[in-house]
């Protein structure tokens, strides 16, 4: 056994340095012969005779050399290596072809691998936490919407922590924005408030200092914070002496107790929107005594628990906890739990969208393969003589087929290598163009698994398009091919049909991608254009929150009045207004009962209506139309009857078909300055986000309903962003310590909200563009081939006086015919496949005929152009010269 192993190792080694060993063997054989000749000569023969006999007695030298070589190396690998070096030389002979083929493949492989890297990071890889498969999000739900998870209250959370044995650990989480002083300039940071056990749950290890321990969460413990690595770098420049430093967070002194390692990724399911701003630091959460539903629950299942068993247990505990509070609560009050695996919750339903794009990338890869197969077949025309000769000289057809296959594989591997390099570039572009709407997008990376995927793709594509030349091989008649003047090795009917099939397939698939891109682009355009209900251009927003010392809300009113005056005076804006909730911002909701609501409805479903407190000129500044009644005027002020404006969505929802003016709305159990309001007017609805409908909304005068948090809105005809510094100055002139919570322009906000559709539109357009180019190459090739094949016919025709235009038409038709067939097939395919896009579209249906028509027309037009080039060339060749040169 050992000996055999030793022998095999020597044989593997024998694969290298074959030239040297061949030489050695030749020397040894020569030496053998010499010795033999010497003996014979001594016995009396002549040297020549001796040599001849020695050679005879040695045996067939070549055959012996071959046996020796077979034993020396590993024959299968030897042949393979020979095939590879042969294939390499063949490719080098035609570098143009090789380059085009490799680039085409690289394009297809890079696209598919890049999208796969997203799919892998978002859907396939487990979350980057210890025992990620047992992590769950815990919330409440009401009986009518069991799927929609809502937050926990203090009571529910503590009950779960004590009694839910199916959960090995549960923490409560709340996110907040606060001003941080002590790290350079004052900055607004995202604070993650957590209960004990958060860092253990998510594997947060400290780089410096420590994370929070149980003792830090008690009422009288010193206030500590743990910094994120990013914040430590940007605010303190990575100062190693950070631990123990004092900072001020929302006006309270805190001490830095540690810095987290840079690899830590805050769980997105706890952060609101995906990638919705990384959390900058963590602090202990002091559970509120109130019973609002405000905490996100995160936990880990116990060893022997399942999601189902945990759900059952949580249901029971939640019900017990809320039972005493149920009296008088609406039916939408949660009475049960919602336990969701954290990965599922993080991913949401982005999986469908990603699958669509993976499919699109796959189509592009197929088109690329078809292209390369086509190129290989086309090239077969020129190699015909060579291959046939080899067959005639005794090479087995299987050997020739195998060599063609190796050529294809080599091409595929080169394409794979180039595609892998291109993948890095594409993924880099993705990371820069991150739309912010895809969860876990920051985890996208090119790692070993992705590279193996690319390699596998290369192998598969090599097999797929490698079949083409082999198919061609089986159709050929050597005798015909060797005859001079015959059409050539592979230009027979069946070969042409194969090529035409490829072009038609390419065209159909390319049209599908084109239509998909067209739909997504139209959808995005519709989204961007959609009437928002107000005029978003030239608006600057700056949000401030008055500190608790203004808690006497009466003080808040005068402050904002003064701010308004000051801003009007100092900021170069056309108009200035105040609002609590600018458009595209989530707002608090007021519990209100519109007049007549209780009588007309059976269920005591309490309406929670989007509320807004604004300055009197708000609607004119925002460009929101007044549809009925009157706007706020000077008679409306503190002390006067409290009035409100509602939007048309409100009227449609609660008073359909009735005249809303003069109706009253009764305040629910929220903090209102009056028991009821009178409706004085109706305004147009403002969309909650681009593409969504307007929610019912109620507007009150800020003077009559003052709030602590207001956004200063300024409109200008020029660049809105330029107003922001002046607005900030105006605020700080009144109170220099006031933190600015948000300063942006309306256009930036809107743009961010449609970043997702924009990303999809761009991505699909890139795929479609690449597909179009590849398909056009196929069309061009067909026309060029047709022109070439019909060279004699064309020459004769033009010698006989045919017009150039007629010849051009003839060639173009050859190319365009295939394009039209492909377009028709593609049209059917895209009608069928467009259904997958339905969820992504806005304002345009997936069966939109205009888009289909437009793409088809575009394709046919570009095919005409692509066919035109060889057509013009054919028309221009001198017929006499062509006829003479043609054999």
Partner 1 sequence: MGGKQDVWQGTLALMVLKTLEAMGPLHGYGIARRIEQTSGDVLSINYGTLYPALLKLEQEGYIASEWGRSDNNRKAKFYSLTRAGRKHLARQTQDWEQATETLARFLALGEASS
Spatial separation of the C-alpha atoms in residues 592 and 677, rounded to whole Å: 10
CA distances for 9 relative to 21, 82, 419, 759, 856, angstroms: 16, 21, 35, 54, 61
Name which of residues 229 to 248 contact partner 1 (CB under 8 A).
Answer: none
Binding-residue pattern over the window 390 to 429 for partner 1, x denoting contact by CB under 8 A? ----------------------------------------
CA distances for 876 relative to 787, 799, 870, 871, angstroms: 12, 12, 10, 9
Q: What is the DSSP string of 229-278?
A: HHHHHHHHTT-TT-TT-EEEETTEEEEEEEEE-TT----GGGSSSTT-S-
Nearer to partner 1, 55 or 526 (CB): 55
Give min distance, CB of 78 to partner 1, in A: 15
Nearer to partner 1, 72 or 758 (CB): 72
In this structure, is the dihedral angle defined by the CA atoms of residues 320, 322, 328 and 329, taken in order, positive or negative?
A: negative
Nearer to partner 1, 23 or 483 (CB): 23
Nearer to partner 1, 50 or 645 (CB): 50
Choose among 332, 336, 334, 293: nearest CA to 313. Answer: 336
Give min distance, CB of 56 to partner 1, in A: 9
Among residues 11, 286, 708, 873, which is the contact residue for partner 1, using CB under 8 A? 11
Give the tokens for residue 35. 């010795």
Region near partner 1 per CB under 8 A, out of 69-77, 334-342, 571-579, 600-608: 69-77
Give min distance, CB of 396 to partner 1, in A: 19
Choose among 766, 786, 781, 727: nearest CA to 541. Answer: 727
Give min distance, CB of 39 to partner 1, in A: 8
Contact in structure between 291 and 323 (CB atoms under 8 Å): no
Nearer to partner 1, 32 or 396 (CB): 32
SS (H, E, C) 693-733: CECCEEEEECCCCCCCEEEEEEECCCCHHHHHHHHHHHHHH
Cβ-in-10-Å burial (0-12, 13-18, 19+) of 301 comes to: buried
CA distances for 114 relative to 236, 353, 445, 774, angstroms: 36, 15, 9, 19
Contact in structure between 253 and 246 (CB atoms under 8 Å): yes
Residue for token pair 């954290």: 342
Among residues 15, 26, 64, 143, which is the contact residue for partner 1, using CB under 8 A? 64
Choose among 125, 130, 119, 127: nearest CA to 343. Answer: 127
Region near partner 1 per CB under 8 A, out of 6-14, 179-187, 377-385, 646-654: 6-14
Among residues 67, 165, 273, 586, which is the contact residue for partner 1, using CB under 8 A? 67
Give min distance, CB of 27 to partner 1, in A: 8
Name which of residues 344 to 363 contact partner 1 (CB under 8 A).
Answer: none
Contacts of 125 (CB under 8 A, 6+ apart): 443
Nearer to partner 1, 15 or 392 (CB): 15
Contact in structure between 541 and 712 (CB atoms under 8 Å): yes
Nearer to partner 1, 67 or 722 (CB): 67
- Give the count of residues interacting with partner 1 (CB under 8 A): 28
Region near partner 1 per CB under 8 A, out of 59-67, 210-218, 339-347, 638-646: 59-67
Region near partner 1 per CB under 8 A, out of 53-61, 150-158, 211-219, 335-343: 53-61
Give min distance, CB of 33 to partner 1, in A: 8
Nearer to partner 1, 55 or 726 (CB): 55
Name which of residues 14 to 43 contact partner 1 (CB under 8 A).
Answer: 25, 27-29, 31-32, 34-36, 38-39
Q: What is the DSSP letter of 608?
A: E
Residue 145 binds partner 1, judged by CB under 8 A: no
Nearer to partner 1, 57 or 562 (CB): 57
Dihedral, CA atoms, 872, 876, 879, 880, nearest 10 degrees?
Answer: -150
Name which of residues 542 to 561 contact partner 1 (CB under 8 A).
Answer: none
Contacts of 504 (CB under 8 A, 6+ apart): 818, 821, 822, 825
Among residues 23, 26, 47, 57, which is the contact residue for partner 1, using CB under 8 A? 57
Nearer to partner 1, 25 or 464 (CB): 25
Give min distance, CB of 387 to partner 1, in A: 31
Region near partner 1 per CB under 8 A, out of 7-15, 564-572, 800-808, 818-826: 7-15
Nearer to partner 1, 58 or 828 (CB): 58
Contact in structure between 202 and 134 (CB atoms under 8 Å): no
Binding-residue pattern over the window 478 to 517 for partner 1, x denoting contact by CB under 8 A? ----------------------------------------
Region near partner 1 per CB under 8 A, out of 66-74, 173-181, 256-264, 811-819: 66-74
Among residues 17, 47, 59, 835, which is the contact residue for partner 1, using CB under 8 A? 59
Region near partner 1 per CB under 8 A, out of 67-75, 207-215, 486-494, 511-519: 67-75
Phi, psi of 84 (to 5 degrees): -65, -45
Give min distance, CB of 14 to partner 1, in A: 8
Among residues 3, 89, 93, 717, which is the contact residue for partner 1, using CB under 8 A? 3
Residue for token pair 């003052």: 706
Residue 857 binds partner 1, judged by CB under 8 A: no
Nearer to partner 1, 57 or 251 (CB): 57
Spatial separation of the C-alpha atoms in residues 750 and 524, rounded to whole Å: 13
Name which of residues 70 to 129 contact partner 1 (CB under 8 A).
Answer: 70-72
Contact in structure between 420 and 113 (CB atoms under 8 Å): yes
- Structural Rg of the chain based on CA atoms: 38
Residue for token pair 């091409």: 411
Q: 698: number of CA atoms within 13 Å, CB side?
A: 29
Pairing label, strands 676-683, 740-745 = unpaired
Nearer to partner 1, 56 or 393 (CB): 56
Give min distance, CB of 76 to partner 1, in A: 14
Region near partner 1 per CB under 8 A, out of 51-59, 504-512, 607-615, 689-697: 51-59
Give min distance, CB of 88 to partner 1, in A: 29
Q: What is the DSSP letter of 637?
A: -
Give the tokens for residue 831. 């009608």
Nearer to partner 1, 1 or 92 (CB): 1
Nearer to partner 1, 72 or 254 (CB): 72
Nearer to partner 1, 25 or 470 (CB): 25
Give min distance, CB of 17 to partner 1, in A: 15
Q: 176: number of CA atoms within 13 Å, CB side?
A: 18
Residue 732 binds partner 1, judged by CB under 8 A: no
Cβ-in-10-Å burial (0-12, 13-18, 19+) of 755 comes to: middle
Nearer to partner 1, 68 or 86 (CB): 68
Give the distance from CA 499 to its chain's centroid. Answer: 35
Give the tokens for residue 491. 């230009």
Residue 68 binds partner 1, judged by CB under 8 A: yes
Nearer to partner 1, 7 or 805 (CB): 7
Give min distance, CB of 85 to partner 1, in A: 24
Residue for token pair 């009396």: 44
Name the site residues for partner 1 (rule: CB under 8 A): 3-4, 6-7, 10-11, 25, 27-29, 31-32, 34-36, 38-39, 57-61, 64, 67-68, 70-72
């Amino acid at each position: 056994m050992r000996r055999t192993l030793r022998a095999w190792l020597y044989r593997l080694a024998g694969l290298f340095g074959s030239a040297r060993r061949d030489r050695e063997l030749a020397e040894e054989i020569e030496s053998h012969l010499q010795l033999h000749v010497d003996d014979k000569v001594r016995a009396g023969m002549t040297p020549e005779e001796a040599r001849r006999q020695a050679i005879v007695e040695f045996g067939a030298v070549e055959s012996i050399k071959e046996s020796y070589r077979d034993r020396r190396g590993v024959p299968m690998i030897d042949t393979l290596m020979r095939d590879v070096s042969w294939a390499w030389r063949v490719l080098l002979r035609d570098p143009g072809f090789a380059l085009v083929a490799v680039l085409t493949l690289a394009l297809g492989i890079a696209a598919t691998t890049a999208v796969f890297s997203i799919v892998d990071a978002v859907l396939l890889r487990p979350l980057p936490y210890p025992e990620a498969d047992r992590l769950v999000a815990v919330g409440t739900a009401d009986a009518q919407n069991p799927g929609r998870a809502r937050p926990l209250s203090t009571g529910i959370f503590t009950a779960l922590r004590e009694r839910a044995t199916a959960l090995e650990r549960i923490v409560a989480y709340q996110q907040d924005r606060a001003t941080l002083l002590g790290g350079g300039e004052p900055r607004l940071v995202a604070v993650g408030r957590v209960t004990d056990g958060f860092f253990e749950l998510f594997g947060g290890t400290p780089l410096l200092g420590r994370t929070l321990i149980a003792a830090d969460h008690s009422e009288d413990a010193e206030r500590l914070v743990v910094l994120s690595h990013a914040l430590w770098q940007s605010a303190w420049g990575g100062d190693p002496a950070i631990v123990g430093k004092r900072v001020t967070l929302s006006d309270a002194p805190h001490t830095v107790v540690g810095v987290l390692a840079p690899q830590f990724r805050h769980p997105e399911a706890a952060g609101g929107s995906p990638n919705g701003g990384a959390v900058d630091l963590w602090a202990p959460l002091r559970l509120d005594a109130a019973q609002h539903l405000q905490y996100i629950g995160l936990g880990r299942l116990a060893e022997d628990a399942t999601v189902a068993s945990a759900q059952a247990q949580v249901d029971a505990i939640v019900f017990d906890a809320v039972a005493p509070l149920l009296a008088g609560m609406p039916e939408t009050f949660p009475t049960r739990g919602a336990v969701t695996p954290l990965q599922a919750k993080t991913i949401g339903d982005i999986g469908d969208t990603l699958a669509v794009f993976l499919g699109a990338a796959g189509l592009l890869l197929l088109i690329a393969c078809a292209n390369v197969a086509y190129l290989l077949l086309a090239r077969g025309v020129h190699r015909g003589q060579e291959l046939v000769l080899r067959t005639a000289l005794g090479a087995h057809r299987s050997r020739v087929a195998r060599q063609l296959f190796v050529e294809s594989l080599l091409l595929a591997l080169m394409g794979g290598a180039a595609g892998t390099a291109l993948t890095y570039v594409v993924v880099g572009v993705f990371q820069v163009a991150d739309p912010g709407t895809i969860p876990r997008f920051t985890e996208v990376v090119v790692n070993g698994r992705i590279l193996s995927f690319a390699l596998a793709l290369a192998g598969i594509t090599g097999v797929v398009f490698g079949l083409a030349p082999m198919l061609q091989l089986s159709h050929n008649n050597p005798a015909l091919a060797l005859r001079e003047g015959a059409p050539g090795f592979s230009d027979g009917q069946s070969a042409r049909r194969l090529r035409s099939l490829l072009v038609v397939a390419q065209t159909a698939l390319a049209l599908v991608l084109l239509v998909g891109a067209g739909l997504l682009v139209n959808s995005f355009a519709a989204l961007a254009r959609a009437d928002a209900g107000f005029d978003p251009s030239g608006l600057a927003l700056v949000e401030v929150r008055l500190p608790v010392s203004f808690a006497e809300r009466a003080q808040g009113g005068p402050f904002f009045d003064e701010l308004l005056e000051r801003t009007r005076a100092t900021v170069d804006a056309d108009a200035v207004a105040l609002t609590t909730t600018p458009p595209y911002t989530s707002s608090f909701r007021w519990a209100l009962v519109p007049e007549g609501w209780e009588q007309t409805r059976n269920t005591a479903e309490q309406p929670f209506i989007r509320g807004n407190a604004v300055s009197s000129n708000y609607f004119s500044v925002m460009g929101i139309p007044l549809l009925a009644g009157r706007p706020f005027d000077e008679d409306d002020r503190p002390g006067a009857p409290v009035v409100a404006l509602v939007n048309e969505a409100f009227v449609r929802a609660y008073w359909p078909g009735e005249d809303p003016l003069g109706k009253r709305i009764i305040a629910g159990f929220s903090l209102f300055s009056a028991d009821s309001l009178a409706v004085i007017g109706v305004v147009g609805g403002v969309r909650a986000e681009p593409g969504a409908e307007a929610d019912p909304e109620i507007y009150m005068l800020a003077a009559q309903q003052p709030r602590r948090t207001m956004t200063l809105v300024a409109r200008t005809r020029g660049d809105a962003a330029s107003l922001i510094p002046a607005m900030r100055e105006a605020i700080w002139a009144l109170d220099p310590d006031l933190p600015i919570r948000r300063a942006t322009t309306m256009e930036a906000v809107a743009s961010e909200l449609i970043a997702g559709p924009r990303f999809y539109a761009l991505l699909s357009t890139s795929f479609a563009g690449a597909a179009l180019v590849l398909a056009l190459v196929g069309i061009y090739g067909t026309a060029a081939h047709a022109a070439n094949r019909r060279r004699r016919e064309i020459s004769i025709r033009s010698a006989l006086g045919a017009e150039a235009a007629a010849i051009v038409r003839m060639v173009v038709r050859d190319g365009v015919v295939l394009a039209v067939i492909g377009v028709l097939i593609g049209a059917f395919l895209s009608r069928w496949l467009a259904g997958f896009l339905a969820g992504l579209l806005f304002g345009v249906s997936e069966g939109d005929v205009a888009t289909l028509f437009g793409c088809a027309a575009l394709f046919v037009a570009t095919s005409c152009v692509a066919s035109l080039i060889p057509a013009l060339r054919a028309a221009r060749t001198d017929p006499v010269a062509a006829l003479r040169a043609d054999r």
